[in-house]
């Protein structure tokens, strides 16, 4: 279940809630003041288990930067 970030319009408190995606816009109560005027915040998704990115190399065929298996990495 995804985690969503909210911000309270009344007190400015930021908080998170784990909710089904279909319920992300449903009414929320601020845990600090109890107000229900909260805004869903945009945040970057967390990516777990991703391999580190490999630097782009120069393709011997085109001479341009690419990530193909034959690229010459500096």
Annotate the chain with DSSP letters as a single string: --EEEEEETTT--EEEEE--GGGTTS----TTT----EEEEP-PPP--SPPPPPPPEE-TTT-SEE--TT-B--
pTM of the model as a whole: 0.57
In this prediction, residue 33 has a pLDDT band, given cuts at 50, 70 and 90, of very high
Query: What are the beta bridge partners of residue 72?
Result: 58
Averaged pLDDT for residues 32-44: 91
Residue 8 confidence (pLDDT) above 90: yes
- The residue among 61 and 41 whose pLDDT is bigger is 41
Average pLDDT, the chain: 81
* Gyration radius from the chain CA atoms: 22
State which CATH number among 3.40.1710, 2.60.40, 3.30.70, 2.20.28 fits the domain covering 1-44. 2.20.28
44's tokens: 């970057």
């Amino acid at each position: 279940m995804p985690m969503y970030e909210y911000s309270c319009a009344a007190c400015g408190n930021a908080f998170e809630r784990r909710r089904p995606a279909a319920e992300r816009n449903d009414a929320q109560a601020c845990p600090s003041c109890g107000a229900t005027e909260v805004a869903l915040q945009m945040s970057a998704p967390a990516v777990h288990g991703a391999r580190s990115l490999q630097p782009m190399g120069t393709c011997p065929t085109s001479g341009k930067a690419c990530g193909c298996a034959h690229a010459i990495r500096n």
